Amino acid sequence: MSESCLNVFHRKKFLSDLSSQKVELLIIGGGITGAGIALDAASRGIQVALVEKSDFSSGTSSKSTKLIHGGLRYLKEFQFSIVRETGKERTTAYNNAPHLVHPEKLILPIVKNGTLGWRSTSFALWIYDLLAGVSKKDRKKMVQKKEVLELIPQFNKHNLVGAGIYSEYRSDDSRLTIEILKKAVSLGALVFNYIEAKEFIYDNGKVSGLVVKDNIENKEHCISSQCIVNAAGPWVDEIRQINKSLGKKRLKLSKGVHLVIKNNKLNLKHSVYFEADDKRMIFAIPREGKIYFGTTDTLYSSSIDNPKTSKQDAIYLLKCMNNAFEGINLELSDVISSWVGLRPLIHEQGKSSSEISRKDEIFISKSDLISIAGGKLTAYRTMAKRVVDLVNKKMKFTANKCQTKKLKLIKLKDELNVFKSIENQLINKYNLDENYAYYLWTRYGLDSKLIINKNPKYSNPFISIIINEFDYCLKNESVLHLLDFLRFHNARVYFYPQSISEFINPLADYAKEKLNWTEEEKLKEINSVNKFLKEAITFE
Ligand code: FAD
């Protein structure tokens, strides 16, 4: 059993060790921003720890459109630096985690009377490729109506002129965050979920530690650190408030909703980025036999912890899809799941949420708390580099230069053969097909082998493999709740919600035994999964 802070059976020991030492850098927030900073710091030899109040990626970093993209729409706003940086980072993300970041062609339809004309689209995509340094073979292509309809036969023919086809990447935001944290831990970082930053400790007016609460054991600890970074996403201002450093520049949160449907009414094989009737841009993306689409972009000021998809949000998105695709007649009852995320944007006077820049910004308080807000999933690595460069300089550490550009998140060797052997074992041992191999591979990469190497324990092979997967997550990803496992570690609640009733009871029994739950705690865990599944398709 691996000795690691990400192994739930060693969590207590590692946490108590952390309380008795002083680290060089302490990060608040286990979303993509915090994870990226932890990896950058650990890979430069900085002693780093990270605390996350819930599960890793449970904030915005599990609720995005899941694209590693250059942000085509930022061209319209002349935000060339964001397009250049995120455009280039796409390839880096792909090179470092090809099991998690997949090349994806996006189809951008051009319609009569739309904002996008043939020439302007062709020009914009040309600049987009140029800024991002896209290789010749992957550069944009303009196609006529006939070819668009061959690719997306159900797209509304009325007014269709043609399309631009360009290259982006697709990923899973939660998995990317978790894999980055795992890599950081392998390089010496100490990272903990369910540890909430409550108060700052000061030394001569400067932050020198945190009082944190273990939300599992219901216990407080103190952690000392030379430097603290606040990477709490939508909660950044809450943390600045605790630090009494909330300045004039504050966050504006914007809500973004995605809905998931089966592919029975719409058989979509390619990702489409289309303009809705109100001129907003909507993504429709096929994934694992389902289609997800979104997003809305509306200013938000209610509870950060529990944003909800309103009926108005859901109806709006269904209407956009029904207008874009012919005869599909999507209704609320077609939705099998949904998620809603909050973009942590930095307030700009007089601008609507869709006009506010997605650029990240760093704030340093009088007590030297460093806060980072804004930004994109795609640019996590360069954001992290900027923060760690700053920490290094400010604290006069003598850390190495940034190492992450060529740092692989998983060991990669002979991928195709490994994938084939996983597939063969799944067929022979578990009677499961290549779709299951794909499911495991795109989540756990080479570690899929650890999941399938064990012999099936249950007469039902599907239940056996799920329990092996849970066991892997207990020991390598600090999974502490059933709902976390199904939301953040494998996204089953979003893409395979119907499968959950098949295994939830034996899985809960297994978890009860391993995590010493009482019968009451076990039932509470099952209820929270069922409640989540219900709420993800109930819109009020
Ligand atoms: P978060 O992921 O929210 O992480 C902050 C963490 O801090 C949370 O996990 C929270 O629990 C924790 N925390 C808060 N308070 C405390 C505390 N007191 N103690 C300990 N921990 C605490 N970007 C892209 O590149 N591509 C996309 O396709 C894309 N699509 C998007 C679609 C939508 C609808 C939205 C909302 C955003 C999208 N983005 C996309 C942007 C991207 O998702 C975000 O920029 C990114 O996920 C923000 O990550 P973060 O780590 O800063 O915040």
The pLDDT of residue 1 is above 60: no
Q: Which residue has the tokens 């996008």?
A: 116
Q: How far is the CA of 233 from the centre of ligand 1 (A)?
A: 5
- Average the pLDDT over each of 5-19, 138-152, 343-357, 523-537 and give the range with the smallest value: 343-357
What's residue 312's pLDDT?
96
85 — pLDDT class (breaks 50, 70, 90) = confident
What's residue 75's pLDDT?
78
Q: Are 452 and 430 in contact (CB under 8 A)?
A: yes
The pLDDT of residue 336 is above 60: yes
Paired residues of 50 in beta bridges:
27, 191
Q: How far is the CA of 276 from the centre of ligand 1 (A)?
A: 26
Q: Which span out of 260-269, 341-350, 352-361 was modeled with the highest average pLDDT?
A: 260-269
**From 33, 58, 62, 64, mutation site for ligand 1 pocket: most ligand atoms within 8 A of C-beta:** 64
The pLDDT of residue 525 is above 60: yes
pLDDT tens-digit readout, 152-179: 999 999 999 999 999 999 999 999 999 9
- The structural domains of the chain, ordered by start, are 11-60+174-250+356-406 (3.50.50.60), 68-170+252-346 (3.30.9.10), 415-535 (1.10.8.870)
In this prediction, residues 502-518 reach a mean pLDDT of 97
The protein residue with its alpha carbon nearest to ligand 1, atom 26, reads 67
360 — pLDDT class (breaks 50, 70, 90) = confident
Angle at which helices 32-43 and 173-186 cross, to 10°: 20
User: When comparing pLDDT for 487 and 75, which is higher?
Assistant: 487
Cα diameter, the chain: 70
Q: How far is the CA of 144 from the centre of ligand 1 (A)?
A: 38
Q: How far is the CA of 439 from the centre of ligand 1 (A)?
A: 24
What's residue 352's pLDDT?
66
Q: Does any ligand 1 atom lie closer than 6 A to the CB of residue 243?
A: no
Q: Does any ligand 1 atom lie closer than 6 A to the CB of residue 29?
A: yes
In this prediction, residues 429-441 reach a mean pLDDT of 89
Q: How far is CA 84 from CA 130, 131, 137, 273, 532, in A?
A: 9, 5, 19, 20, 38
The pLDDT of residue 348 is above 90: no
Q: Does any ligand 1 atom lie closer than 6 A to the CB of residue 31?
A: yes
Q: How far is the CA of 68 from the centre of ligand 1 (A)?
A: 14
What's residue 2's pLDDT?
67
Q: How far is the CA of 423 from the centre of ligand 1 (A)?
A: 34
Q: How far is CA 135 from CA 88, 100, 334, 491, in A?
A: 11, 21, 39, 32
In this prediction, residues 93-109 reach a mean pLDDT of 94
Q: How far is the CA of 376 from the centre of ligand 1 (A)?
A: 8
Q: Does any ligand 1 atom lie closer than 6 A to the CB of residue 69?
A: yes
Mean per-residue pLDDT over the chain, rounded: 94
354 — pLDDT class (breaks 50, 70, 90) = low
Q: Does any ligand 1 atom lie closer than 6 A to the CB of residue 177?
A: no
* Ligand 1 atom showing the smallest separation from residue 57 Cα: 9
The protein residue with its alpha carbon nearest to ligand 1, atom 38, reads 64
Q: How far is the CA of 37 from the centre of ligand 1 (A)?
A: 14
Q: What are the backbone angles phi and psi of residue 161, rounded to the nearest 5°?
A: -105, -45
- Average the pLDDT over each of 163-177, 304-318, 359-373, 425-439 and give the range with the smallest value: 425-439
In this prediction, residues 58-81 reach a mean pLDDT of 88
* Ligand 1 atom showing the smallest separation from residue 378 Cα: 25
The protein residue with its alpha carbon nearest to ligand 1, atom 4, reads 31
Q: Which residue has the tokens 């650029």?
A: 359
The pLDDT of residue 412 is above 80: no
The structure tokens listed for 523 are: 């039932």
- Rounded CA separation 380/364 (Å): 19
